[in-house]
Amino acid sequence: MRAETFESRVRQALHAGRRWHPAEIAFWCLAFAAFLLFPSQLLLLNEIAILALFALSLDLILGYAGIVSLGHAAFLGTGAYAAGLFAKHVGGDPLAGLAAGMAAAGLLGLVTSPLVLRGTDLTRLMITLGVALILYELANSLGWLTGGADGLQGVVMGPVLGLFDFDIFGRTAYLYSLCVLFTLFLVARRVVHSPFGLSLRAIRDNPLRASASGVPNARRLAAAYTIAATYAGAAGALLAQTTQFVSLDVLDFHRSADLMLVLIIGGAGYLYGGLIGAIAFKLLQDAIATFTPQYWMFWIGLFLVLFVLGGREIIHGGVKAVAGRLAGIGRGAAR
């Protein structure tokens, strides 16, 4: 009887998690409406969509499985180079190139997952960073294949679904990236609100108890790591296809570091954290770079330090104080 009650409570919790809330619907409606609301900012919006997918991939392992990584750019770069090489030597179909990028990155995640699952968090940080550095040097040395320091050139993309050509304004690029992001988000949402997702959170919170309960920790973590790598490969493929160029920058350490900052801003452990963090990070980066092109990294670093030290409470408190001050000024003016 107790077992049946427990199972019914689990099913109810999973069903409640799958239910769409009005705020979620509004979020995605605004994302698609941005195509019409901000026609001059579509290139920036495309970058945000790709970064959001990249952040979503890290959140799947960091927020839900508790696997830390400082080399997630390895999968972004693998997906980008795979999609770029596919377009250059096989064909320019975007969806086929996207599948190739996801498959290559997923395979890399599957192969490297046994290494990542060993040891403590510090060990995982070093291993993931090491894998990314190895791939960076390989891409740099195999210039005949990757273009080396000059980058992979000659990437020519065909129209999406044979109908929509890529243009310099980012119209097709943004809708294409946003549709891929939304589709993979739906899959991730289903995954985290499933028994598999619950088992990942159990392993994250208490691996010994999860193992004692019969959860195959290693296999579940390896599966989560492979899925996250596949998602990061999709982000890399989108980056290569929408820019039609791949450079060593996609494997650089700053990609992984920026990704951690995105999750710090948005929060890990819920799927919208990476999306919100990507929006905030890219908009902040663009605004500061426009205001002070020479020192934009200094101001972003200062903001992030204050954000981490003060937390969201100080920022939210400051917003409320400013709102209260403005309301007081408005009441005074009305008198």
Q: For residue 280, what are its two tokens?
A: 């905030």
CA distance 278 to 178: 13
Res. 333: pLDDT tops 80: no
Q: Please report where in the chains the tokens 């979503």 appear, as a residue.
A: 56
Question: Tell me, which fold does domain 2-276 have in CATH?
Answer: ABC transporter involved in vitamin B12 uptake, BtuC (1.10.3470)
Rounded CA Rg of the chain = 21
142 Cβ contact partners less than 8 Å away, ≥ 6 residues apart: 148
Res. 53: pLDDT tops 80: yes
Q: What's the CA angle centered on 68, arms 63 and 72, to 5 degrees?
A: 100
CA distance 79 to 43: 20
Kindly report the number of other CB atoms within 10 A of residue 298's CB atom: 11
Strand partners, 164: 160
pTM of the model: 0.86
* DSSP alpha helix (H) spans, the chain: 2-18, 22-37, 42-62, 73-89, 94-116, 121-141, 143-146, 171-192, 195-205, 207-212, 217-243, 253-266, 271-291, 296-334
CA distance 266 to 284: 13
Give the tens place of pLDDT for each residue, 64-100: 888 888 889 999 999 999 999 998 888 888 999 999 9
pLDDT bucket at 326, cuts 50 / 70 / 90: very low
Q: With beta carbons less than 8 A apart as the criterion, state whether 211 and 217 touch.
A: yes
Half-sphere exposure of 328 (CA within 13 A, CB side): 6
The Cα diameter of the chain in Å comes to 74
Write out the DSSP string of 82-111: HHHHHHHHT---HHHHHHHHHHHHHHHHHH
89 Cβ contact partners less than 8 Å away, ≥ 6 residues apart: none
The number of residues in the chain equals 335
Percent of the chain with pLDDT over 90: 29
Q: For residue 278, what are its two tokens?
A: 């990507």
Per mean pLDDT, which range of 82-86, 107-111, 313-317 is the poorest? 313-317
Q: Please report where in the chains the tokens 């997923």 appear, as a residue.
A: 106
- The torsion region of residue 147 among left (phi > 0), alpha (psi -120 to 50) and beta comes to left
Most confident of 5-14, 156-165, 291-300: 156-165
The CA–CA distances, whole Å, from 196 to 188, 193, 199 equal: 11, 8, 5
The CA–CA distances, whole Å, from 31 to 152, 161, 268 equal: 31, 22, 21
Q: With beta carbons less than 8 A apart as the criterion, state whether 38 and 196 touch.
A: no
Listed by start position, the domains of the chain span 2-276, 292-335
For residues 24-35, average pLDDT: 90
For residues 251-264, average pLDDT: 87
Per mean pLDDT, which range of 91-95, 177-181, 228-232 is the poorest? 91-95
pLDDT bucket at 175, cuts 50 / 70 / 90: very high
Inter-axis angle of helices 2-18 and 171-192, to 10 degrees?
A: 170
Average pLDDT, the chain: 83
